[in-house]
Amino acid sequence: GNLARILMQGKLGGTGKMVILPVDQGFEHGPARSFSANPPAYDPHYHFQLALDAGLSAYAAPLGMLEAASGSYAGAIPTILKLNSSNSLATEKDQAVTGSVSDALRLGCAAIGFTIYPGSEYQFKLMEQFRELAEEAKSVGLAVVLWSYPRGPLLDKAGETAVDICAYAAHMAALLGAHIIKVKPPTAHIGLEAAKKAYEKIDISTMEKRIEHVVQSCFAGRRLVVFSGGEASDSASLLETIKGVHAGGGSGSIVGRNSFTRPRDEALALLSQIIAIYQGKA
Ligand code: FBP
Protein backbone atom coordinates (compact mmCIF):
# COMPACT_ATOMS: atom_id res chain seq x y z
CA GLY A 1 0.00 0.00 0.00
CA ASN A 2 1.26 3.40 0.97
CA LEU A 3 4.51 2.20 2.54
CA ALA A 4 5.27 0.46 -0.76
CA ARG A 5 4.65 3.74 -2.62
CA ILE A 6 7.56 5.27 -0.67
CA LEU A 7 9.75 2.21 -1.16
CA MET A 8 9.07 2.06 -4.91
CA GLN A 9 9.59 5.76 -5.64
CA GLY A 10 12.61 7.45 -7.17
CA LYS A 11 16.12 6.21 -7.75
CA LEU A 12 16.10 3.91 -4.71
CA GLY A 13 12.75 2.36 -5.66
CA GLY A 14 12.80 -1.39 -5.03
CA THR A 15 16.05 -1.44 -3.01
CA GLY A 16 14.43 -1.27 0.44
CA LYS A 17 16.32 1.97 1.07
CA MET A 18 15.00 5.51 1.04
CA VAL A 19 16.06 9.13 1.07
CA ILE A 20 13.42 11.61 2.23
CA LEU A 21 13.36 15.41 2.03
CA PRO A 22 11.84 16.98 5.19
CA VAL A 23 10.97 20.66 5.11
CA ASP A 24 9.45 21.58 8.45
CA GLN A 25 12.47 23.65 9.53
CA GLY A 26 10.61 26.90 8.74
CA PHE A 27 8.27 25.98 11.56
CA GLU A 28 10.96 24.57 13.84
CA HIS A 29 13.72 27.16 13.36
CA GLY A 30 12.12 30.11 11.52
CA PRO A 31 12.19 31.20 7.85
CA ALA A 32 15.47 33.13 7.69
CA ARG A 33 17.54 30.45 9.47
CA SER A 34 16.01 27.91 7.12
CA PHE A 35 15.77 29.57 3.73
CA SER A 36 17.92 32.73 3.46
CA ALA A 37 21.04 30.79 2.48
CA ASN A 38 19.21 29.68 -0.69
CA PRO A 39 16.25 32.06 -1.22
CA PRO A 40 14.40 29.98 -3.87
CA ALA A 41 13.68 27.63 -0.95
CA TYR A 42 11.14 30.10 0.47
CA ASP A 43 8.79 28.77 -2.26
CA PRO A 44 6.95 25.52 -1.34
CA HIS A 45 7.06 24.47 -5.03
CA TYR A 46 10.87 24.47 -4.87
CA HIS A 47 11.01 21.51 -2.49
CA PHE A 48 8.65 19.27 -4.45
CA GLN A 49 10.71 19.93 -7.57
CA LEU A 50 13.99 19.31 -5.73
CA ALA A 51 12.76 16.01 -4.31
CA LEU A 52 11.48 14.93 -7.73
CA ASP A 53 14.59 15.95 -9.67
CA ALA A 54 16.86 14.29 -7.12
CA GLY A 55 14.88 11.03 -7.44
CA LEU A 56 14.04 10.91 -3.73
CA SER A 57 11.58 8.52 -2.07
CA ALA A 58 9.26 11.01 -0.38
CA TYR A 59 8.77 14.58 0.72
CA ALA A 60 7.65 15.47 4.28
CA ALA A 61 6.21 18.83 5.36
CA PRO A 62 3.58 20.51 7.52
CA LEU A 63 0.08 21.21 6.20
CA GLY A 64 0.57 24.67 4.68
CA MET A 65 3.71 23.65 2.75
CA LEU A 66 1.92 20.72 1.12
CA GLU A 67 -1.27 22.66 0.43
CA ALA A 68 0.61 25.53 -1.20
CA ALA A 69 2.01 23.25 -3.89
CA SER A 70 -0.42 20.34 -4.05
CA GLY A 71 -2.25 21.85 -7.05
CA SER A 72 0.88 21.49 -9.18
CA TYR A 73 2.47 18.42 -7.64
CA ALA A 74 -0.35 16.15 -6.44
CA GLY A 75 0.62 12.54 -7.04
CA ALA A 76 4.11 13.36 -8.35
CA ILE A 77 5.95 12.02 -5.30
CA PRO A 78 4.75 10.33 -2.08
CA THR A 79 4.21 12.93 0.64
CA ILE A 80 4.31 12.67 4.41
CA LEU A 81 2.10 15.15 6.24
CA LYS A 82 3.86 16.24 9.41
CA LEU A 83 1.02 16.31 11.96
CA ASN A 84 2.75 18.20 14.73
CA SER A 85 5.24 21.02 14.94
CA SER A 86 7.39 22.89 17.40
CA ASN A 87 8.88 26.36 17.08
CA SER A 88 11.92 28.24 18.36
CA LEU A 89 9.85 30.76 20.31
CA ALA A 90 8.63 28.04 22.65
CA THR A 91 10.23 27.43 26.03
CA GLU A 92 8.61 24.00 26.42
CA LYS A 93 9.93 20.83 24.80
CA ASP A 94 6.55 20.28 23.22
CA GLN A 95 4.79 20.16 19.85
CA ALA A 96 1.35 21.33 18.72
CA VAL A 97 -0.90 19.13 16.58
CA THR A 98 -1.14 21.08 13.31
CA GLY A 99 -2.85 18.67 10.91
CA SER A 100 -5.13 15.65 10.80
CA VAL A 101 -5.44 12.26 9.17
CA SER A 102 -8.25 13.60 7.02
CA ASP A 103 -5.93 16.40 5.82
CA ALA A 104 -3.44 13.68 4.84
CA LEU A 105 -6.12 11.82 2.89
CA ARG A 106 -7.40 14.98 1.21
CA LEU A 107 -3.84 15.80 0.07
CA GLY A 108 -3.22 12.25 -1.18
CA CYS A 109 -0.36 11.63 1.25
CA ALA A 110 1.30 8.24 1.63
CA ALA A 111 1.99 8.72 5.33
CA ILE A 112 1.58 10.83 8.40
CA GLY A 113 4.61 12.09 10.30
CA PHE A 114 4.79 12.92 13.99
CA THR A 115 7.48 13.95 16.48
CA ILE A 116 7.84 12.74 20.04
CA TYR A 117 10.42 14.08 22.50
CA PRO A 118 11.24 11.15 24.83
CA GLY A 119 12.55 12.69 28.04
CA SER A 120 10.58 15.92 27.86
CA GLU A 121 8.00 16.81 30.47
CA TYR A 122 5.39 16.42 27.70
CA GLN A 123 6.53 13.00 26.47
CA PHE A 124 3.52 11.03 27.66
CA LYS A 125 1.04 13.47 26.13
CA LEU A 126 2.97 13.36 22.83
CA MET A 127 2.99 9.55 22.87
CA GLU A 128 -0.74 9.45 23.57
CA GLN A 129 -1.49 11.91 20.77
CA PHE A 130 0.63 9.79 18.46
CA ARG A 131 -1.17 6.61 19.50
CA GLU A 132 -4.52 8.10 18.55
CA LEU A 133 -3.36 9.56 15.20
CA ALA A 134 -1.42 6.42 14.26
CA GLU A 135 -4.46 4.24 14.94
CA GLU A 136 -6.59 6.47 12.73
CA ALA A 137 -3.93 6.63 9.98
CA LYS A 138 -3.48 2.85 9.91
CA SER A 139 -7.23 2.30 9.78
CA VAL A 140 -7.31 4.20 6.45
CA GLY A 141 -4.15 2.59 5.08
CA LEU A 142 -1.66 5.40 5.62
CA ALA A 143 1.91 4.64 6.65
CA VAL A 144 3.20 6.09 9.92
CA VAL A 145 6.56 7.84 10.32
CA LEU A 146 7.74 8.79 13.81
CA TRP A 147 10.53 11.30 14.52
CA SER A 148 11.83 10.20 17.94
CA TYR A 149 14.01 12.97 19.34
CA PRO A 150 15.17 12.66 22.96
CA ARG A 151 15.05 16.02 24.66
CA GLY A 152 14.38 17.33 28.15
CA PRO A 153 15.72 18.11 31.62
CA LEU A 154 17.67 14.87 32.01
CA LEU A 155 19.61 15.35 28.77
CA ASP A 156 22.28 17.84 27.76
CA LYS A 157 23.06 18.41 24.05
CA ALA A 158 25.42 15.41 24.00
CA GLY A 159 22.88 13.25 25.83
CA GLU A 160 20.31 13.80 23.08
CA THR A 161 22.37 11.78 20.60
CA ALA A 162 24.14 9.39 23.02
CA VAL A 163 23.93 5.90 21.54
CA ASP A 164 21.96 4.38 24.41
CA ILE A 165 19.45 7.25 24.38
CA CYS A 166 19.13 7.06 20.59
CA ALA A 167 18.55 3.28 20.68
CA TYR A 168 16.05 3.72 23.52
CA ALA A 169 14.13 6.42 21.62
CA ALA A 170 14.12 4.29 18.47
CA HIS A 171 12.90 1.24 20.40
CA MET A 172 10.05 3.24 21.95
CA ALA A 173 9.08 4.40 18.44
CA ALA A 174 8.94 0.75 17.34
CA LEU A 175 6.82 -0.12 20.38
CA LEU A 176 4.49 2.76 19.55
CA GLY A 177 3.84 1.09 16.20
CA ALA A 178 5.74 3.32 13.75
CA HIS A 179 6.46 1.83 10.31
CA ILE A 180 9.37 4.19 9.69
CA ILE A 181 11.44 5.38 12.65
CA LYS A 182 13.48 8.53 12.42
CA VAL A 183 16.34 9.33 14.79
CA LYS A 184 19.53 11.39 14.75
CA PRO A 185 22.86 9.59 14.09
CA PRO A 186 24.09 8.17 17.43
CA THR A 187 27.31 9.36 19.06
CA ALA A 188 29.78 7.22 21.01
CA HIS A 189 28.81 7.99 24.53
CA ILE A 190 26.33 6.76 27.11
CA GLY A 191 23.75 9.21 28.39
CA LEU A 192 21.89 7.16 30.98
CA GLU A 193 23.90 6.15 34.05
CA ALA A 194 21.67 3.10 34.56
CA ALA A 195 22.53 1.83 31.07
CA LYS A 196 26.34 1.92 31.47
CA LYS A 197 26.70 -1.68 32.60
CA ALA A 198 24.63 -3.05 29.70
CA TYR A 199 26.90 -1.18 27.27
CA GLU A 200 30.12 -2.73 28.57
CA LYS A 201 29.44 -5.61 26.16
CA ILE A 202 28.16 -3.61 23.18
CA ASP A 203 30.58 -2.30 20.55
CA ILE A 204 29.79 1.38 19.98
CA SER A 205 33.21 2.38 18.68
CA THR A 206 32.22 3.21 15.09
CA MET A 207 29.17 4.75 13.40
CA GLU A 208 28.57 1.42 11.65
CA LYS A 209 28.44 -0.45 14.99
CA ARG A 210 26.21 2.16 16.60
CA ILE A 211 23.79 2.09 13.69
CA GLU A 212 23.74 -1.72 13.89
CA HIS A 213 22.81 -1.43 17.54
CA VAL A 214 20.02 1.10 16.91
CA VAL A 215 18.61 -1.05 14.07
CA GLN A 216 18.78 -4.15 16.29
CA SER A 217 16.90 -2.18 18.95
CA CYS A 218 14.05 -1.77 16.46
CA PHE A 219 12.80 -5.35 16.59
CA ALA A 220 16.03 -6.95 15.36
CA GLY A 221 15.85 -5.08 12.08
CA ARG A 222 12.15 -5.69 11.41
CA ARG A 223 11.44 -1.97 11.23
CA LEU A 224 12.72 0.71 8.86
CA VAL A 225 15.07 3.08 10.66
CA VAL A 226 16.21 6.28 8.96
CA PHE A 227 18.71 8.82 10.21
CA SER A 228 18.57 12.59 9.91
CA GLY A 229 21.08 14.81 8.17
CA GLY A 230 21.39 17.44 10.87
CA GLU A 231 22.33 21.07 10.55
CA ALA A 232 24.11 22.16 7.40
CA SER A 233 27.63 20.78 7.39
CA ASP A 234 30.35 20.03 4.88
CA SER A 235 29.55 17.33 2.34
CA ALA A 236 32.49 15.14 3.31
CA SER A 237 31.43 14.65 6.92
CA LEU A 238 27.77 14.18 5.97
CA LEU A 239 28.71 11.50 3.42
CA GLU A 240 30.98 9.83 5.97
CA THR A 241 28.07 9.58 8.44
CA ILE A 242 25.78 8.25 5.73
CA LYS A 243 28.32 5.59 4.77
CA GLY A 244 28.19 4.47 8.40
CA VAL A 245 24.38 4.40 8.30
CA HIS A 246 24.47 2.24 5.17
CA ALA A 247 27.17 -0.09 6.50
CA GLY A 248 25.29 -0.55 9.77
CA GLY A 249 22.04 -1.56 8.05
CA GLY A 250 20.09 1.68 8.35
CA SER A 251 17.23 2.04 5.86
CA GLY A 252 18.10 5.50 4.70
CA SER A 253 18.40 9.18 5.40
CA ILE A 254 16.19 12.19 5.91
CA VAL A 255 18.17 15.17 4.69
CA GLY A 256 16.63 18.62 5.04
CA ARG A 257 19.00 21.49 5.76
CA ASN A 258 21.89 19.80 4.00
CA SER A 259 19.75 19.77 0.85
CA PHE A 260 17.79 22.99 0.68
CA THR A 261 20.30 25.43 2.18
CA ARG A 262 22.68 24.59 -0.68
CA PRO A 263 22.21 26.04 -4.16
CA ARG A 264 20.02 23.68 -6.19
CA ASP A 265 22.83 22.24 -8.37
CA GLU A 266 25.01 21.49 -5.36
CA ALA A 267 22.07 19.94 -3.54
CA LEU A 268 21.28 17.69 -6.50
CA ALA A 269 24.93 16.62 -6.73
CA LEU A 270 25.10 15.84 -3.00
CA LEU A 271 21.80 13.94 -3.03
CA SER A 272 22.98 11.83 -5.92
CA GLN A 273 26.12 10.93 -3.96
CA ILE A 274 23.92 9.98 -1.00
CA ILE A 275 21.72 7.82 -3.23
CA ALA A 276 24.83 6.15 -4.67
CA ILE A 277 25.84 5.11 -1.14
CA TYR A 278 22.48 3.41 -0.60
CA GLN A 279 22.74 1.79 -4.04
CA GLY A 280 26.01 0.28 -2.84
CA LYS A 281 27.93 2.13 -5.55
CA ALA A 282 30.06 4.35 -3.32
P1 FBP B 1 17.55 18.12 8.93
O2 FBP B 1 18.11 17.19 7.88
O3 FBP B 1 17.48 19.52 8.46
O4 FBP B 1 18.25 17.95 10.25
O5 FBP B 1 16.03 17.69 9.11
C6 FBP B 1 15.63 16.69 9.96
C7 FBP B 1 14.71 17.22 11.03
O8 FBP B 1 14.17 16.15 11.75
C9 FBP B 1 13.57 18.09 10.56
O10 FBP B 1 12.46 17.34 10.14
C11 FBP B 1 13.32 18.94 11.76
O12 FBP B 1 12.78 20.17 11.47
C13 FBP B 1 14.68 19.12 12.33
O14 FBP B 1 15.45 18.03 11.94
C15 FBP B 1 14.65 19.28 13.81
O16 FBP B 1 15.95 19.45 14.24
P17 FBP B 1 16.25 19.97 15.71
O18 FBP B 1 15.26 19.28 16.60
O19 FBP B 1 17.65 19.52 15.93
O20 FBP B 1 16.07 21.43 15.69
Instruction: Give DSSP secondary structure letters for 58-83.
Output: EEEEEHHHHHHHHHHHTTTS-EEEE-
Q: What is the ipTM of this complex?
A: 0.94
Ligand 1 centre distance from Cα of residue 230 (Å): 6
Residues in CB range of 81: below 8 A, 6 or more apart:
60, 61, 62, 63, 66, 99, 103, 104, 107, 109, 111, 112, 113
Task: Give kind and range of the element (H or E) at residue 20.
Answer: strand 18-22
Q: What is the pLDDT of residue 230?
A: 80
Residue 281: how many CB atoms within 10 A of its CB? 8
Q: Which atom of ligand 1 is nearest to the CA of 232?
A: 3
Q: Do 99 and 62 contact (CB within 8 A), yes or no? A: yes
Q: What is the pLDDT of residue 21?
A: 98
Closest residue by CA, ligand 1 atom 12: 25
pLDDT in tens, the chain (282 residues): 999 999 999 999 999 999 999 999 999 999 999 999 999 999 999 999 999 999 999 999 999 999 999 999 999 999 999 999 999 999 999 999 999 999 999 999 999 999 999 999 999 999 999 999 999 999 999 999 999 999 999 899 899 999 999 999 999 999 999 999 999 999 999 999 999 999 999 999 999 999 999 999 999 999 999 999 888 789 999 999 999 999 999 999 999 999 999 999 999 999 999 999 999 998
197 labelled catalytic: no
- What type of residue is 181? I
Q: Which atom of ligand 1 is nearest to the CA of 229?
A: 2
Q: What is the pLDDT of residue 229?
A: 83
Catalytic residue among 17, 82, 182, 209: 182
What are the boundaries of each domain within the chain?
2-6+19-278
Q: What is the pLDDT of residue 54?
A: 98
Is-above-0.95 flag for pTM?
A: yes
Pick from 13, 74, 7, 18: nearest CA to 228: 18
For strands 84-85 and 143-148, give the pairing.
unpaired
Q: Which option is the CATH number for 2-6+19-278: 3.80.30.20, 3.20.20.70, 3.40.50.1950, 2.40.30.10?
A: 3.20.20.70
Name the CA radius of gyration of the chain, rounded: 17
